[in-house]
Amino acid sequence: AQSVTQLGSHVSVSEGALVLLRCNYSSSVPPYLFWYVQYPNQGLQLLLKYTTGATLVKGINGFEAEFKKSETSFHLTKPSAHMSDAAEYFCAAWGYSTLTFGKGTMLLVSP
């Protein structure tokens, strides 16, 4: 069975500061990895995904994530936070025919 761990249920940053949301996965087989964003009362929107190839993946809204097999990590970053980035972010892993989500990290952005 695979699992996804997101460190920190809440992360607070100031507008313009670096955003770093952490995700680690546990799987005997390197999975496909995803980051989704969820705005209040909305469904999940795909930010970016890693399947094969380049380990640094760029997504929408200036986000990117790096797959590090040795660390079993897939952390999400953005150089400069914007107020509109405030939302909940979910890391997910696809493996064994199932898409497994982490518990989510709420990103709070202050002016």
Interface ranges with other proteins (CB under 8 A): 4, 6, 9, 31-32, 34, 36, 41-46, 49, 51, 90, 92, 94, 97-104
Least distance CB 99 / other proteins (angstroms):
6
Least distance CB 1 / other proteins (angstroms):
10
Q: Which residues fall within 8 angstroms of residue 52, CB to CB, at 6 or more apart?
A: none
Instruction: Tell me whether residue 15 or residue 32 sits nearer to other proteins (CB atom).
Output: 32
**Strand intervals (E) in the chain:** 3-7, 10-14, 19-26, 32-38, 44-50, 56-58, 64-68, 73-78, 87-95, 98-101, 105-110
Instruction: Tell me whether residue 17 or residue 44 sits nearer to other proteins (CB atom).
Output: 44
Least distance CB 48 / other proteins (angstroms):
10
- Give the total residue count for the chain: 111
Least distance CB 45 / other proteins (angstroms):
7
Q: Cα(76)–Cα(54) distance, rounded to whole angstroms?
A: 15
Asked if residue 75 lies in contact with residue 65, where contact means CB atoms within 8 angstroms, the answer is yes
Instruction: Tell me whether residue 43 or residue 111 sits nearer to other proteins (CB atom).
Output: 43
